[in-house]
Amino acid sequence: MTTQPTHAEVLTGQDAEPIEWDEAQGRIAEARFSWLATARPDGRPHVRPCLTIWMDGELHSTTRADAAKGRHLAADGRCSMSVTTDGMDLVVEGTASFVTDPDHLQRLADAYRDKYGWPPVVVDGAFDAPYGAPTAGAPPYRPFAIAPDAVYAFGTDDAFGPRSTRFTF
């Protein structure tokens, strides 16, 4: 499944063509590091670095169920993930849900192996692995997917700056 935006709008007020969705989507997919923003129960923000996979039109990452981000997403899936690339910063806003489908989990495990060299295996609807990020703690790691409501592509150079774009889904 490929998610396509229903609308693209230039944010700068200039008469410019929007950034192409393929360009924005490719940069999200290639990003090595991302930042997940969730909300604590009292509404205060919580931001943490993540390794991400763009697959099937959704942005994926993992968490432990007892980690703050895992508890926050279980209580309220609304979140955002941001990445910085050369010439463009991107923000994916949407709703996260935990991945439970065995085929989806296996394809996601394979994607992590291909992109990061991380070797998770699917066990009881989660990932087990011989290691994780230094701050991640021991497995199991629960994969989640963020279905985008909006994606912002903020140009940071002369080529993309005037074309900064909001994609809605």
Q: From the DSSP assignment, how many helices (H) and strands (E) are in the chain?
A: 3, 11
Q: Quick one: the chain helix, strand, coil %, rounded to 5? A: 20, 40, 40
State the CB neighbour count (10 A cutoff) for residue 158: 8
Token couple for 74 = 């279980």
CA distances from 108 to 69, 92, 116, 159, 165 (A): 19, 19, 12, 33, 28
Q: Model confidence at 2, in pLDDT bands (50, 70, 90)?
A: low
Secondary structure letter of residue 162 according to DSSP = G
For 26-47, what is each residue's pLDDT tens digit?
Answer: 999 999 999 999 999 999 999 9
CATH architecture of the domain with residue range 7-98+145-168: Roll (2.30)
Domain ranges in the chain are 7-98+145-168
pLDDT tens-place string over residues 107-130: 999 999 999 999 999 999 999 999
Write the pLDDT tens digit of every residue in 57-114.
Answer: 999 999 999 999 999 999 999 999 999 999 999 999 999 999 999 999 999 999 999 9
Global pTM value: 0.94
